[in-house]
Copies of this chain bind each other. A is one copy, B any other.
Amino acid sequence: MRAAYATRPREQVSAVLRREKRYLSAAEIHAILRKSRANVSLSTVYRTLDLLAGKGEASARVDERGEATFVVCDQSHHHHAVCNTCGKVEDVSCEAIESVANALRSHHGFKLADHEMEFFGTCGACR
Contact = CB atoms under 8 A, between A and B. Distances in A.
Interface of A: 62, 66, 68, 81, 83-84, 90, 92, 94-96, 99-100, 103-104, 107-124, 127
A121 B127 contact: no
Contacts of A115: 117-120
A105 B109 CA distance: 32
A44 to B, nearest CB: 20
Closest A-B pairs by Cβ, 5 of them: A109-B124, A113-B121, A114-B120, A112-B121, A111-B122
Given A96-B100, A115-B118, 14 more contacts: A83-B110, A90-B108, A90-B110, A92-B104, A96-B96, A108-B123, A110-B121, A112-B120, A113-B121, A113-B122, A114-B120, A114-B121, A115-B120, A116-B117
